[in-house]
């Protein structure tokens, strides 16, 4: 059984990975890891012709642009038609990609959160919380416009929800209200967990990250941690590792996390 890393190709050069994934593709190839490139845009047409082809028994780890759950199921099915299987199946993808999939198991480590289905319920629940501020997002993303994601009243919650719909085209999954805690500026760090083992960009894994890795069971995911102003580390979010960018990770350090899972295919690292 071999791991094959699947990247979207650059539309201007089908022999290289797209955008920020190009460095990962080149490094992994140099280190002997099996990699394939495919046309990301063709997924919407059910077209899938990865090069090199996915072989029977290949375990596929996707590294690329974000996919919604429906498209991820489509990718998983297409990989299976080629004889492979995704390292992260669709259920595990959703478990890390959507907030409700991970919140209950690690609620003690992250700001209090309320999940609602629509705008009317969001206002009603916000009015009952007694919170002074609300961080508003959907199950995956917050509002990226200059307005930001913090509401100071239930009515401002509606404003932010409308902006998310406007800029992203939809609310993915549902609406999330999170209690605002005060964090130290620029203290956020991203960690990755592969097969239950946490990895750090700087060699140090905080106790909080190790505890989360024990509680959240999924093949490959990211953990974003920030320091609160009282000095306590807090979990911001968990994300599927396949669609999480590297943020503060050097390319070689990140790639060696992937390489470690496939030791028989790799040169000395």
In a domain, 125, yes or no: yes
Question: Per residue, what are the HEC states of 187-249?
Answer: CCEEEEEECCEEECCCCCCCHHHHHHHHHCCCCEEEEEEEEECCCCEEEEEEEEHHHCCCCCC
- Domain extent at residue 144: 112-179
In a domain, 48, yes or no: yes
Regarding whether 76 and 116 lie in a shared domain, the answer is no
Distances (CA, A) of 106 to 110, 121, 161, 197, 211: 7, 24, 25, 17, 9
Per-residue pLDDT tens, the chain, 269 aa: give them.
Answer: 679 999 999 999 999 999 999 999 999 999 999 999 999 999 988 899 999 999 898 999 999 999 999 999 999 999 999 999 999 999 999 999 999 999 999 999 999 999 999 999 999 999 999 999 999 999 998 887 778 899 999 999 999 999 998 888 889 999 999 999 999 999 999 999 999 999 999 999 999 999 999 999 999 999 999 999 999 999 999 999 999 999 989 999 999 999 987 654 544 33
In a domain, 69, yes or no: yes
Question: What is the domain-level CATH number for residue 149?
Answer: 3.30.1490.20
Q: Distance (Å, rounded) from C-alpha 253 to C-alpha 247? A: 12
Whole-number pLDDT of residue 58: 93
Distances (CA, A) of 267 to 27, 102, 256, 260, 263: 12, 35, 11, 11, 8
Q: Distance (Å, rounded) from C-alpha 235 to C-alpha 83? A: 37
Q: Please tell me whether the peptide bond between 215 and the residue prior to it is cis, using omega within 30 degrees of 0.
A: no
Whole-number pLDDT of residue 250: 97
Question: Per residue, what are the HEC states of 14-70?
Answer: EEEECHHHHHHHHHHHHCCCEEEEECHHHHHHCCCCCECCCCCCCEEEECCCCCCHH
In a domain, 150, yes or no: yes
Q: Which two tokens stand for residue 152?
A: 């100071």
Strand partners, 136: 177
- Please identify, among 134, 158, 179, the residue that sits at the C-terminal boundary of a domain: 179
Q: Which two tokens stand for residue 113?
A: 């959160």
In a domain, 59, yes or no: yes
Regarding whether 81 and 8 lie in a shared domain, the answer is yes
In a domain, 18, yes or no: yes
pTM above 0.75, yes or no: yes
Whole-number pLDDT of residue 1: 62
- Which of 198, 229, 233 shows the shortest CA–CA distance to 212? 198
Whole-number pLDDT of residue 46: 87
Regarding whether 69 and 8 lie in a shared domain, the answer is yes
Count of domains for the chain: 2
Whole-number pLDDT of residue 2: 75
SS3 call for 164 = helix
SS3 call for 182 = coil
């Amino acid at each position: 059984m071999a791991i094959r890393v699947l990247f979207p190709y650059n539309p201007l050069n089908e022999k290289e990975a797209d955008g920020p994934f190009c460095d990962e593709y080149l490094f992994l190839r140099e280190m002997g890891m099996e990699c394939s490139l495919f046309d990301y845009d063709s997924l919407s047409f059910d077209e899938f012709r990865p090069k090199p082809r996915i072989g029977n028994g290949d375990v596929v780890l996707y590294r690329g642009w974000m996919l919604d759950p429906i498209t991820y199921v489509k990718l998983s099915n297409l990989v299976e038609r080629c004889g492979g299987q995704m390292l992260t199946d669709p259920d595990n993808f959703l478990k890390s990609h959507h907030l409700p999939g991970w919140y209950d198991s690690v609620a003690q480590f992250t700001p209090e959160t309320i999940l609602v289905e629509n705008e009317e319920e969001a206002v009603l629940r916000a009015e009952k919380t007694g919170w002074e501020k609300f961080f508003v997002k959907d199950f995956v993303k917050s509002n990226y416009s200059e307005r930001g994601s913090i509401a100071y009243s239930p009515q401002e919650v509606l404003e932010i929800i409308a902006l998310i719909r406007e800029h992203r085209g939809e609310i993915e999954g549902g609406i999330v209200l999170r209690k605002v805690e005060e964090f130290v500026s620029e203290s956020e760090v991203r960690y990755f967990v592969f097969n239950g083992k946490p990895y750090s960009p700087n060699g140090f894994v905080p106790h909080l990250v190790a505890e989360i890795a024990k509680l959240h069971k999924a093949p490959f995911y990211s953990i974003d941690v920030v320091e609160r102003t009282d000095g306590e580390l807090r979990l911001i979010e968990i994300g599927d590792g396949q669609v999480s960018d590297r943020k503060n990770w050097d390319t070689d350090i990140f790639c060696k996390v992937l390489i470690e899972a496939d030791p028989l295919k790799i040169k000395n690292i």
